[in-house]
Amino acid sequence: MKLNQQLYDAVASRAQHAKVDQVCLGIGYSAVTLDNGGTGIAYTYFDRKTGCSLMKDYEDFEGRPAADLLALIQSDNFLKRTMALALINALNHAQVRDEAPDHGNAVLLETLGIGPQSKVAMVGYIKPLAKMLESRGATVEVIDEFRQIGSTPAFYDKLADWADAALITSTAILNNSLEDILNHLGPGIKAGLVGPSTPMLAAAFSDWPAVRALAGSVPLDAAAVVKTVRHGLGTPYLHRYCNKVTLTVQP
């Protein structure tokens, strides 16, 4: 898919000068660390567990060139794509490490123009964010495949002619649904990608001008982040050791 190639291209040159230090596939999130200090995380995506091993054709990428693992962003295997997206975020770590934090989502909401009367389409139910928007008077419509919330055709109708803004979980990258979602956005809708998996790489989204905000997580303490991942903990725990950052993308 086009987005996969653009994510690859955005960090390919950096991958030539880095080696993978550690890969940690946790049950909630995964993490990749590099020999140059870069650390990245991504949601651990798999559809179902049918045995004791979830990875076919296993490869050990630790100690190898980052370019070897980066190629897996083109894979059809969800776990391989998880590792590759975490790597992409690790390769971009230095570029976003010093960005100002947006822990209260003020930059995200301002960038997308979300206010008290806004109609917001949310892909992936992020409860704290949805509740915060509703408490401020916004109307939120949600679709979430895992929680069996919403109908895809009805939701796409909302994207086309109802919503003012769209908040899309970046796990949509991992199941290759993001391009389809973005292609259903109606004119004038501003979209933001949200969640720790978000690759804060504006160049990768240049073909989708509706994407105005990339809201992700920047690890501050690599060892603590990896331990959190190993212990199967989720976003609230990760954010103890990360900055929430919103990168504004100009159309």
CATH number, domain of 25, equals 3.30.390.100
Residues 178-194 have a mean pLDDT of 96
Give the list of residues 6+ apart from residue 89 with CB closer than 8 angstroms, or none: 32, 40, 41, 42, 197, 198, 199, 200, 216
Q: 24 and 131: one domain?
A: no
Instruction: Answer yes or no: is 79 within a domain.
Output: yes
Both 19 and 131 in a single domain?
no
- Please give the pLDDT value at position 48: 72
State the pLDDT confidence band at 31, using cuts at 50, 70 and 90: very high
Output the pLDDT for position 146: 80
Q: How far is CA 2 from CA 8, 109, 163, 197, in A?
A: 10, 28, 25, 18
- pLDDT surpasses 80 at 50: no
| Amino acid occupying residue 240 | R
Q: Are residues 46 and 146 in the same domain?
A: no
pLDDT at res. 93: 98
How far apart, in Å, are the Cα atoms of 38 and each of 74, 95, 161, 201? 22, 10, 41, 15
Task: Render pLDDT for 195-205 as a digit per residue (tens, 0 to 9).
Answer: 999 999 999 99
Give me the domain span that covers residue 235: 106-248
Kindly report the pTM of this predicted structure.
0.95
Domain boundary among 53, 75, 96: 96
Residue 25: inside a domain: yes
Predicted pLDDT of residue 163: 96
Do residues 165 and 61 share a domain? no
Does any domain span residue 30?
A: yes
CATH code, domain with 164: 3.40.50.11590
Phi-psi region at 35: left, alpha or beta (left = phi > 0; alpha = psi -120 to 50) = alpha
Note whether residue 43 is domain-resident: yes
Q: pLDDT digit string (tens) for 138-152? A: 999 999 988 889 899
Mean pLDDT of the residues in the chain? 94
Residue 39 sits at φ, ψ, to 5 deg, of -135, 135
Count: domains in the chain: 2
Same-domain check for residues 117 and 205: yes
Residues 133 and 222 in one domain: yes
Residue 73 burial by CB count (10 A; 0-12/13-18/19+): exposed, middle or buried? buried
- State whether 61 and 163 are in the same domain: no
**C-alpha torsion 127→105→208→33, nearest 10:** -80
Q: Flag whether 189 is in a domain.
A: yes
83 & 60 share domain: yes
User: Has residue 101 been placed in a domain?
Assistant: no
